[in-house]
Amino acid sequence: MVLLSDFDFDRICHGDYQVMFIITNVSIKRELERERLASHFQEIMYASISHELRTPCNAINNSLMCMQPHVGVQGKPWFDIARSSTAFLLSLVNDTLDMAQLKSGKFHLNFSTVTVKDMVTEIYDLIRVQLIYKEEVEFRVKYGSDVPATIDSDQ
């Protein structure tokens, strides 16, 4: 829709004839179209890169799970760091995909019942990995008596 303010009017009168020129400012329309296309290509790029990153992240994660029974006591802390770091990276990739789907209007929530303690433990492990070498930081989890055992959540 073109607004009247988008036009410049100019009239030329010549004898009995009157001619009106309408000059449209198309630079605004072109800029909006360029921005729309740039946004569209950015969404495609995010989705494509995220899909490409998800495959190796899943491969690393699955490889770590296969290695888990063979990890000794000394290697367990390093194994846990690798596993939780990979899980964190995979969650970032999934969040990026979710954002691309959200922008394109294709995002859907998938609710399921989850155990609160399992969910908090998973989050704790991700944060603990990042704080493992920071001696001045102490991180604890404490549950209130009113916290339910399970909740419905989108993972």
Q: What is the pLDDT of residues 3-40, one digit of tens each?
A: 444 444 445 555 566 666 666 677 888 888 888 888 88
Is residue 34 included in any domain, yes or no? yes
The DSSP symbol for 39 reads H
Residues 98 and 121 grouped into a single domain: no
Residues 27 and 94 grouped into a single domain: yes
- List of residues 6+ apart from 85 with CB closer than 8 A: 129
The whole-model pTM stands at 0.54
List the CATH number of the domain containing 70. Answer: 1.10.287
Number of domains in the chain: 2
Residue pair 68/79 in contact by the 8 Å Cβ criterion: yes
CA distance 134 to 109: 36
Residues 148 and 99 grouped into a single domain: no
Is residue 2 included in any domain, yes or no? no
Owning domain of residue 41? 8-103
Burial (CB count <10 Å: 0-12, 13-18, 19+), residue 35: exposed
Residues 12 and 85 grouped into a single domain: yes
Q: Which residues of the chain have pLDDT under 50?
A: 1-10
Please give the pLDDT value at position 93.
Answer: 86
